[in-house]
Structure 1
């Protein structure tokens, strides 16, 4: 396996895991520095935190943005690209640099297309939010507290930390923060000990997005893998 193929494989592993997370919440996580900047504000109770996060997610019916994604750990790297999400159940995550990859989901299935490997993988979208966070964004925000313990460390900051209740979840915690009602960053700590940070820019809230953005047809000659 050459260096280019290794990078593409690593990127596929990273982005595949993140796809579910972003479908989850449109989400955003606060940088770790936020944990130390406002120690004077008392934490909100779990019920209050859940209601506040529910309101933010409910107000986010669709979103487009550019992203910069950095992972630290066994699979380190930085990738940039663009994303689109729309309720219900629609998601598009397109990495453009340093290599090209496309992830498209529509609620029933998710495609991961790796241009360098000439390979397209089709997966079923898990309906259990506790196993994958895929429905936090596209599902019913009012039900997220059934699957996650939701905390708001500082009651005067729109910064939330979610802990999955399921023992089968692929991540340990997901931190989300909003600025002016917009998701600006996400930090995901996975079960492999890796930390992935995603920063959003050029955010557009609740735009009209054509349905073609959430459809994918594998190009001719591409290997198709069903999982």
Structure 2
């Protein structure tokens, strides 16, 4: 394996791991509807922001969209594809260019399949939930406030910034922006000093998604790695 291939492999795997965190986050962000704008632009206090976020999470059960994911840092690059998410804890993240990669999670396990590398990695979702925004899926405002500092910088804008309180979290901050009641952009600053922006388009809220979308069986001949 030459240096170029090693670098490409590293970028793909880091992108896959990051996408997993983001999509776990998106499982939280998807059930968003627009807040009624108010006259003031003052920030909401943390408890109010957490309660608003929790209240909004219960309104949408599923979402599909196309995405464009751009990372700036050690693993710079832009990836495009499609995604689907269904509460609780189900998501499918399929990168189609510049390379093909599939990430599927169903609440118990998460698969990262890289077609070019002929490699599939299986991870236990439970082992990585503790310090990710997946805790927001609990639907308990007190737990949200306990584990995250959730801010709404402008009370008249549908924009939230989450800061994990744990030192072991895999990201420093995660921001979510909404337009017309739909999440249109997420920006994650990770612990590696990288910034990843994800823009969503062709968004469909509450579609019917077959359970097969959240299942994965490694193709014959693919190397399987259990983590």
Q: TM-score, normalised by structure 1?
A: 0.87
CA deviation profile, 1:111-158 (whole Å, cap 9, x unmatched): 000000000000001356442334445876774323211001111001
Q: Is the 8 A contact 2:80 2:95 kept in 1?
A: yes
The 10-residue stretch of structure 1 (115-124 or 26-35) with the greater mean CA deviation from structure 2: 26-35
Shift of 1:48: 1.0
Shift of 1:193: 0.5
Shift of 1:181: 1.6
Shift of 1:31: 19
1:103–1:73 Cα change, 3 Å: same
1:167–1:134 Cα change, 3 Å: same
RMSD: 4.1
1:175–1:3 Cα change, 3 Å: same
The 10-residue stretch of structure 1 (213-222 or 129-138) with the greater mean CA deviation from structure 2: 129-138
How many Å separate the matches in 2 of 1:106 and 1:29?
17
**Matching of residues 65-76 of structure 1 within 5 Å:** 65-76=65-76
Structure 1: 5+ residue stretches without partners: none
The 10-residue stretch of structure 1 (89-98 or 23-32) with the greater mean CA deviation from structure 2: 23-32
Q: Is the 8 A contact 1:92 1:105 kept in 2?
A: yes
1:141–1:22 Cα change, 3 Å: farther
The match for 1:25 is 25
Shift of 1:12: 2.9
1:37–1:135 Cα change, 3 Å: closer
Q: Is the 8 A contact 2:173 2:188 kept in 1?
A: yes
SS at match of 1:10: helix
Shift of 1:165: 1.3
How many Å separate the matches in 2 of 1:51 and 1:159?
14
Structure 2: 5+ residue stretches without partners: none
1:33–1:134 Cα change, 3 Å: closer
The 10-residue stretch of structure 1 (178-187 or 27-36) with the greater mean CA deviation from structure 2: 27-36
Q: TM-score, normalised by structure 2?
A: 0.87
Q: Is the 8 A contact 2:28 2:57 kept in 1?
A: no
Shift of 1:38: 13
How many Å separate the matches in 2 of 1:142 and 1:62?
24
Shift of 1:88: 1.3
1:68–1:137 Cα change, 3 Å: farther
- Indicate the structure whose relative CO is greater, using CA pairs within 8 Å and at least 6 residues apart: 1
Alignment coverage as a number of residue pairs: 227
